[in-house]
Structure 1
Amino acid sequence: MIMKTTKYFSLACLKMASSILGAYTAIQDGSKEMTIESNVLMSDELDNPPVNDKIQTIVLKFSEELEPATITEAVKLYRIDSAGDPVEEACAVKIDLNDPKSIRINNKDITRFAQGQEYKLIIKSTLSSKNKASLGCDYVGYFATNIDFDLSGNPELNEERTQIIVASDFHLGVDSAFAELEKNKQALVDFLAQVKKSPNVKELVIGGDLLDEWFLPMDYQMPDSKAAFFDQVAANNQAIIDGFNAIIKAGEIKVTYVPGNHDLLLTEADVARIFPGISQARAELQGLGTYVTGPNSEIVIEHGHKYNFFCTPDPISNRAITNDETTILPPGYFFTRIATTCVIEGHPQSDNVFPEMVPNKEDPSQFNAYLYYQTWKAILSVLPVKESFDDKVLKTNIDGFTENYSINNCIPQQDKETGLISATLYHNIQDTWEERQTINGVTVKIPVSEAITRAAVPAFTDYQAQTQFFDLDVSKRIVIFGHTHVADVIAMTNRDSQKTIYANSGTWIDNAQGYPTRTFVVITPPKAGAAIETVNLYQYSPDQTITQWTEAQAIRI
């Protein structure tokens, strides 16, 4: 028997059944073997049920006209309970009047299948066709039903607060003239107001890049007080700040902030001042944090910048320049300032020339310095500015930096006599990557050449969920990052071959460069008596509607 369902259909099921080439071939008793197609996504794995958004009728289409007398006893439907055991469900089974090769399976009330449940469907080999074709063996298929998400409440959740919302990368700016979030401000205000009223939301997790200290033009003059800067950001986004604070003050939804790279210097005191009563998930080092939640502490939420060569805190490279042991701004800060200027200037034509460099492939440090230069060249080639690379146009007054710097102070240069490649800022940064990963708590070290060349690849960040969590700790089944602005939900596996789920919460900025914006992740733990936890990705629209953005995933916990 072949069950044509989805990409979830596994090799194990194909081994259990006949092969595709074997369909319709004679078997030993001279009868034929039937194939089946289903309108419902199914797999043969109890721990990997594909999620169907809405099911009212399961339609199975067979390759042969069925013998009615064999149908009723051959079809069994079960619900999987919280212990993973099947509990038989009464069902109605009948031949489709319009197609004698198809059967229709409903629950006993002929209504929509219950939400947030896993089911097991068995079609026994006793089912046969009028010409005596059979299945050859029992078919066993598992499938799950999604949980409808509505901020006004889902009746099937009985007004219980169980759901966790994760949203990130708001990038609230200090000045509306160049902030990345302007058009979507009102949508965010409306979203927060709806979250506050929701009877089912238990937690709202802010996955980093909330207040933006990076997206500033090169000539922006930072105030002497960092706290004053963040207060200005808050004032420029007061309605949004008020929206978060209204949720916190109401006290029914736990709101947690996790640091990102664009708010790397936002201290615990700054957050507590602007968002009184908020929870914070912070690491010992400023600018990092990991939040663990869920019924079994199975959910991990980070921003994701910890694994990015250009965006993770750098407490080593510039201490000699700043004379400040607390300096942590990475090079991403400076190229973001340059990129902001490019946007303000309308992507101007540039007279700046990148010098050709000769890489020393025999010296690993120097070759990595060349790769670092090539990254700078690639970035500034697509984000040109009219200012000369030699002019001192980068104002600082932040994180121990007090001088004005040129772009060429950031870009590695090659000495004409010695051939050595080095830079003024982040001098030999390629040589300290291993140490920085240790300081920043990266468990599985990333090779420096890979970290440099793949930093801008969203899938590279996604993959860290696998290597840093799922491969190491089987108790962690769901990992959520932000940072890349590329919203997605991806099924993975852990070292015990259990299904795990990675999600990226995306962003709320006005322009996500071809990717969706105003996105957020919703995790719904198992309902009472149910087996599955679901992860969904949604997009919020300015008209206050919510749309599922991608296919849901579910795990058994």
Structure 2
Amino acid sequence: MAKHQIVVLSDIHIADDAPTVWYQSSIHNPYLKGICDWIVANAANISELVLLGDVVDFWTHPANVQPPSFAQIIAAQPAIFGPAGFFGQVLDALGGAVTYVPGNHDMGVTAAEVATVVSAGGHAMRFADSIYYPLGAGDQRIALGHGNAYTMFNAPDPLSPWTPLPVGHFVTRMIASKWARDLPPGHTVASLPGQGSPNGIDVSAVIKAAILSGSFAISAALLDSVAAQTATPANQTFVLPSGQVVALDVDVRPAYDNLFTNWVAQCGGGAIGYLIAGKSALADALAYYMGWFAQRQAFESGSQIIVMGHTHTPISGIDTTLIKYANSGFECPSTPDMPPQAVNFVVIDTNSFSAQVMASAAGGTQIVPVNAAVTPIVEVGADYSSYAIIQNSGADAMTLVGAPNAANGYWVVPPPATIAAGASVTLWLQDFPGPVGTSGSVTYQSPSRGQQAFSFACPTTSWNSCSGGASFRTKSGGGSWGAPGSVAHMGHPFYVDFVA
């Protein structure tokens, strides 16, 4: 049988076992070893292991301590990274097919550094940045990304004086400083409940209040809240991974003053930009809307499966969607939190195009499937989006005519300028907050078939409707596709599959 599985493992947070680091080798190594042993034992079926970000950790050290470098972490953890270590054994079992994708806590790791992880058999770890498509060039049916790129406080910040470090770096360092002061001798954060999920400090109320008030000073509110909860003085200094020293009040706080404003502009400006920027802020605060961003990315790249990490919450899907989404959870839950938390990862089956959340259980001696939760697209209220698939069944490309019409709602994934012959695209029109719903239309033309109009609507107070194409089928909510030409008048969101 050809190799048909891809294993995705994220958010390990390996460092030097300092007391404030989430991953403690004495506690977590058996679970990680169990996963790697399982991969080696099943190597005949596994084409690749993808380490999907936050593999090592440069953030969970106190503010006054320079975090260890990648090389120092590798040297400190030979059982994991050594030639005969856990990953070394996997490298040899998979013929070198181990790929490292950075996240936020390991932001700045380079391909050259990753290549220093070499197995006893001489296989070096590979590197990929941003969104990684493991099926190879031109095949984007599976998309893998850490997920921090969609979150306001942990995405790479090109405008930071210490680019790409985002404001989240300083939040985590303040929290680590608190635990460095408060931990009893001989204890680590792994003995405290709530650590790493995401950090033991509640900032969600602050972020939600700032968004609801219309305030653009979200970054200042975040820093002030965390400083108050951690008893961090205004003149606190931070030793950055580079060795540079910066101060909270003089350097850090003003550096991110325009963060929310920049995100609104980056997301298109106006009301739509504000809505999406708000989702990006809440994606960090409570892992809200990560499914929303996963679905958007999947539609944009034409992916059928998308797997992310970052939130430390294992997810097995989205409640109503056209794609398959999974989150791989994390590898360093605190001991008081196990259970219900577990050491999770994801296995993708490329034959069935499915993704299964797994757990390293019983101290790493068992690998078992997990019925992880599903996540919604809309965190509060209902989703009255209209989703339109347009399949170009002709022999020539279809070209967009005029501007797409969004009578009600806004384009999350707008119609592309062209649809190649034999290709299909998925459009996403989402409703604004309020009682209206969505309705929109788009027109394409091709030399052989002329102009074709496609319309669709998912209103809140009347029936769903659609028209256009040579044929169509529809469904609503979590229902099944209906017969060609029939319309799922009731339910939401509304899906239309047009054949042009």
Asked if the contact 2:219–2:256 (Cα under 8 Å) also holds between the matched residues in 1, the reply is: no
**1:253, CA displacement in angstroms?**
6.3
**1:492, CA displacement in angstroms?**
5.5
Distance 1:168 1:453, change over 3 A: closer
* Partner in structure 2 of residue 185 of structure 1: 29
Whether 1:537 aligns to 2:366 is: no
> Which consecutive unaligned segments of at least 5 residues does structure 1 have?
1-157, 224-228, 283-287, 349-355, 411-422, 439-443, 527-531
Deviation string 1:521-549 (CA, Å, 9 cap, x unpaired) is 111232xxxxx333211110215112221
Of the candidates 446, 460, 465, which is equivalent to residue 294 of structure 2?
465
Deviation string 1:389-428 (CA, Å, 9 cap, x unpaired) is 1333322252xx7233136754xxxxxxxxxxxx323242
Asked if the contact 1:481–1:505 (Cα under 8 Å) also holds between the matched residues in 2, the reply is: yes
Distance 1:293 1:346, change over 3 A: farther
Of the candidates 308, 313, 332, which is equivalent to residue 481 of structure 1?
308
Asked if the contact 2:34–2:364 (Cα under 8 Å) also holds between the matched residues in 1, the reply is: no
**Aligned-partner Cα distance in 1 for 2:29–2:177:** 22
RMSD over aligned CA atoms reads 3.6
* Partner in structure 1 of residue 117 of structure 2: 274
Distance 1:258 1:515, change over 3 A: farther
Whether 1:525 aligns to 2:350 is: yes
The amino acid of 2:311's aligned partner reads T
**Aligned-partner Cα distance in 2 for 1:272–1:436:** 34
* Partner in structure 1 of residue 169 of structure 2: 333
Asked if the contact 1:508–1:519 (Cα under 8 Å) also holds between the matched residues in 2, the reply is: yes
* Partner in structure 2 of residue 550 of structure 1: 371
Whether 1:394 aligns to 2:238 is: yes
Asked if the contact 2:309–2:330 (Cα under 8 Å) also holds between the matched residues in 1, the reply is: yes
Distance 1:208 1:519, change over 3 A: same
Of the candidates 105, 108, 132, which is equivalent to residue 290 of structure 1?
132
**1:380, CA displacement in angstroms?**
4.1
What pairs up with 1:327-476 in 2 under 5 angstroms? Answer: 327-346=163-182, 367-369=215-217, 371-381=218-228, 383-385=229-231, 387=232, 389-396=233-240, 398=242, 402-406=244-248, 409-410=251-252, 423-434=253-264, 447-470=276-299, 472-473=300-301, 475-476=302-303
* Partner in structure 1 of residue 54 of structure 2: 209
Deviation string 1:59-80 (CA, Å, 9 cap, x unpaired) is xxxxxxxxxxxxxxxxxxxxxx
* Partner in structure 2 of residue 74 of structure 1: none
* Partner in structure 2 of residue 141 of structure 1: none
Of the candidates 227, 239, 261, which is equivalent to residue 79 of structure 2?
239
The amino acid of 1:216's aligned partner reads H
| TM-score, normalised relative to structure 2 | 0.60
Asked if the contact 1:169–1:506 (Cα under 8 Å) also holds between the matched residues in 2, the reply is: yes
The amino acid of 2:13's aligned partner reads H
Distance 1:342 1:436, change over 3 A: farther
Distance 1:332 1:360, change over 3 A: closer
**1:180, CA displacement in angstroms?**
1.1
**Aligned-partner Cα distance in 1 for 2:210–2:74:** 48
Asked if the contact 2:101–2:145 (Cα under 8 Å) also holds between the matched residues in 1, the reply is: yes
Distance 1:335 1:301, change over 3 A: same
Q: Percent identity?
A: 26
Asked if the contact 1:202–1:253 (Cα under 8 Å) also holds between the matched residues in 2, the reply is: no
**Aligned-partner Cα distance in 1 for 2:366–2:210:** 56
Of the candidates 283, 305, 323, which is equivalent to residue 500 of structure 1?
323
Distance 1:317 1:505, change over 3 A: same
**Aligned-partner Cα distance in 1 for 2:9–2:157:** 26
What pairs up with 1:68-217 in 2 under 5 angstroms? Answer: 158=1, 160-182=2-24, 183-198=27-42, 199-217=44-62
**1:190, CA displacement in angstroms?**
3.3
**Aligned-partner Cα distance in 2 for 1:251–1:430:** 43
Deviation string 1:362-395 (CA, Å, 9 cap, x unpaired) is x97xx211x33333344445x414x5x1333322
**Aligned-partner Cα distance in 2 for 1:447–1:213:** 29
**Aligned-partner Cα distance in 2 for 1:270–1:213:** 14
| TM-score, normalised relative to structure 1 | 0.54
The alignment covers a number of residue pairs equal to 336
**Aligned-partner Cα distance in 1 for 2:86–2:17:** 19
**1:551, CA displacement in angstroms?**
6.0
**1:360, CA displacement in angstroms?**
11
Query: The residue matched to 1:342 in structure 2 has which SS?
Result: helix
Asked if the contact 1:169–1:483 (Cα under 8 Å) also holds between the matched residues in 2, the reply is: yes
**Aligned-partner Cα distance in 2 for 1:406–1:373:** 11
**Aligned-partner Cα distance in 2 for 1:484–1:550:** 17
**Aligned-partner Cα distance in 1 for 2:21–2:7:** 25
**Aligned-partner Cα distance in 1 for 2:297–2:241:** 35
Asked if the contact 2:357–2:370 (Cα under 8 Å) also holds between the matched residues in 1, the reply is: yes
Distance 1:299 1:433, change over 3 A: same
Deviation string 1:60-118 (CA, Å, 9 cap, x unpaired) is xxxxxxxxxxxxxxxxxxxxxxxxxxxxxxxxxxxxxxxxxxxxxxxxxxxxxxxxxxx
Distance 1:436 1:190, change over 3 A: same
**1:211, CA displacement in angstroms?**
1.1
**Aligned-partner Cα distance in 2 for 1:490–1:390:** 42
* Partner in structure 1 of residue 97 of structure 2: 254
**Aligned-partner Cα distance in 2 for 1:434–1:360:** 14
Query: The residue matched to 2:334 in structure 1 has which SS?
Result: coil
